[in-house]
Amino acid sequence: MHSGAERVLRYEGKAKRVYRTGTPGECVIEFTDAATAFNGERKGEISDKGRINCATTSIFMAMLEEHGVPTHVIRQLSETELLARDVEIVPLEVVVRNIAAGSFTRRLGVPEGTPLSRPIVEFSYKRDDLGDPLLTRSHIEVLDLAPADVVAELEVRALRINELLRSHMVDRGVTLVDFKLEFGHTADGELVLADEISPDTCRFWDTATGDKLDKDLFRHDLGDATPAYQLLLDRLGATGVPA
């Protein structure tokens, strides 16, 4: 039903391709092995990343749906493809931080690994050409990027997702340090979680060893990221894609 002949490339991002299908309101998301960091300044590939991130995203989205968080994912089509609802992306990246790392440490001088007294939600303008700058709610309002009630709902959902993901991962020996979310509106106006949840968009640390299980390995040239990505997927108990 979703053969390649029906697909038309709609958008190609840094690590995914999005295709229109023959069914209105649906799209196919293809995950690739391409990897970028620091707003595209560092480019390369992480072997097998497309397969791993597709499976990881499918597992996380299904878990969130089970707990009442609406997402755009319909089902996994193949090892590297998801069938999803078409959405109009809200031009905001929503970051939740539990432990100091990444740009938070660079901006504020807090040592990496410092636990935060409570989760922090940050908003960034989804603009690669500007380096995805940090935004206040006043910026969002003045630039008319999203209504105030939508911004408030994004924060509520992000914190709920954080609770669910942290709980899910702690049982698997993994610490959720921080992560980025994107949301979008379906054709009928429903606000849903979109994009992906994977080692590309989250910082995961092995709770016992502190080893990084995410894209920081690629960002900082700390070694082959593929085994870490696969270990994260294994901890999630992946069982493969139905034929």
**Rounded Cα–Cα distance for residues 28 and 50 (Å):** 14
pLDDT above 70 for 30: yes
- Average pLDDT on 38-65 reads 91
159-209 pLDDT per residue, tens: 999 999 999 999 999 999 999 999 999 999 999 999 999 999 999 999 999
3-17 pLDDT per residue, tens: 444 789 988 888 999
Domains and CATH numbers, the chain: 4-85 (3.30.200.20), 88-223 (3.30.470.20)
Instruction: For the chain, give the mean pLDDT.
Output: 93
Q: In a 10 Å sphere around its CB, with 0-12 CB exposed, 13-18 middle and 19+ buried, how is residue 136 labelled?
A: exposed
Q: Which pTM was predicted?
A: 0.92
pLDDT above 50 for 240: no
DSSP summary character for residue 207:
T
* Among 83, 112, 77, residue whose Cα is nearest residue 98: 112
Total residues found in the chain within this entry:
243
**Rounded Cα–Cα distance for residues 154 and 160 (Å):** 10
* Residue 50 token pair: 């497309």
